[in-house]
Amino acid sequence: MRSGCEAAIGGADRGPPAPFHPIARGRAGANLLATIVYGKFGEHQPLNRQSEGFAREGIELSVSTLADWVGACTAALMPLVVLIRAHVLAAGRIHGDDTTVPVLASPKTVTGRLWAYVRDDRPFGGAAAPGVMFHYSRDRGGEHPCRHLAAYAGILQADAYAGFNDLYHPARKPGPVTEAACWSHGRRKLFVLADVAKAPLAIEAVRRIDAIFAVERDLNGLPASQRQAMRQARVAPLVRSLEAWMRGERSKLSRHAEVAKAMDYMLKRWAAFTRFLDDGRICLTNNAAERELRGVALGRKAWLFAGSDRGGERAAAMYSLIATAKLNGVDPRAWLADVLARIADHPASRLHELLPWHWPRAGEGHSLAA
């Protein structure tokens, strides 16, 4: 008769394999982890509030434990973040914008930034899946977008932030980024003057711009070539009329007048504002990026600040995953739970199957981990 050790070595009495846990040396299941992560970044619930909620149910989970789990989940999901970023940067046209995020530092908080870059080809009938990549930085220096978009040479729809200017330089390698300005930003400056100050010139400018927006609504979702042709026929005459009127009225105004400053914002960048007329891929606005940053703005009211630079980087990664899932019509919490349960054993060469736009098909036959 063999001893217990001999039997174990021989495998005769070996029991079932130990259950897989998404976090090394941790016993939290994928569903619990997804609930915590989505609660923090998707529903803006700080970890201290989540800890208090668990305590009311008789479950003791400290804030430090939850923070460790969030960090471990972010590390486990980073390969998907990398794939999403590559997908976004493969687009011919992207949207870019940023917003503030207070960050704890000594002796006081500093104002960090979260940058969002959005790929969404649906307005011009593109078949590629939409995606969002977020990046964190400690300040708003122009070197950050240059680093984020170092390998990109397509069209960038953005506001007139000077930090983007190096991207547009003709000598830039691998090539200059093409600037496309946002008509919503231009209209907003005039709308404030029309709505608050009741300035007649601002009211007329807004009326003319709104006529352009009205035509553009009919072109949403059409193929790029058809959008370009219809813009030349229907929108270009309105734009030319607006320019002629605006330049004529601007010449009569003092440079110190508020309406003049609002007009100058557009007139000094007229080439970037009118680039959409010659390229059907370009949208009239940068609203796609602004929408993705809205969740960050809502979150700031709940969690108030990021605890560190590392916390800001984790937030950027998780926002990338959650926002991309939402853009693709996927339930972020369910997707995160399934991916956390499977990613460690999934072949590296097939990680793309776990991306949100592939997930319903790739997830067939897989149950969520408890």
In whole angstroms, give the CA distance from residue 257 to residue 236: 28
Measured between alpha carbons, how far is residue 312 from residues 66, 91, 288, 324 in Å? 16, 26, 22, 18
pLDDT at 19 over 70: no
Is residue 202 within 8 Å of 190, Cβ to Cβ?
yes
Provide the pLDDT for residue 370.
31
Measured between alpha carbons, how far is residue 80 from residues 129, 216, 317 in Å? 15, 35, 9
pLDDT at 11 over 60: no
159-203, pLDDT tens digit by residue? Answer: 999 999 999 999 999 999 999 999 999 999 999 999 999 999 999
pLDDT at 304 over 70: no
Mean pLDDT of the chain: 91
User: Which of the residue ranges 5-19, 106-120, 231-245 would you say has the lowest mean pLDDT?
Assistant: 5-19
In whole angstroms, give the CA distance from residue 192 to residue 188: 6
Measured between alpha carbons, how far is residue 56 from residues 197, 262, 300, 302 in Å? 52, 54, 25, 20
Query: Burial of 350 by CB count in 10 Å (0-12 exposed, 13-18 middle, 19+ buried)?
Result: exposed
27-41, pLDDT tens digit by residue? Answer: 799 999 999 999 999
Say what percent of the chain tops pLDDT 90. Answer: 81
Say what percent of the chain tops pLDDT 70. Answer: 91
Banded pLDDT at 70 (limits 50, 70, 90): very high
Banded pLDDT at 289 (limits 50, 70, 90): very high
Amino acid 56 reads R
Banded pLDDT at 362 (limits 50, 70, 90): very low
Banded pLDDT at 360 (limits 50, 70, 90): confident
Q: What is the domain partition of the chain in residue ranges?
A: 20-88+307-362, 183-284
315-331, pLDDT tens digit by residue? Answer: 999 999 999 999 999 99
Measured between alpha carbons, how far is residue 28 from residues 24, 55, 207, 289, 300 in Å? 10, 16, 57, 34, 28
Q: Residue 39 region, left (φ>0) first, then alpha (ψ -120 to 50), else beta?
A: alpha
Q: How many residues are there in the chain?
A: 370
Q: Name the pTM for this structure.
A: 0.91
- H helices of 157-235, in order, are 183-195, 200-219, 224-230
> Which residues touch 276 (CB under 8 Å, ≥6 apart)?
180, 231, 282, 283, 284
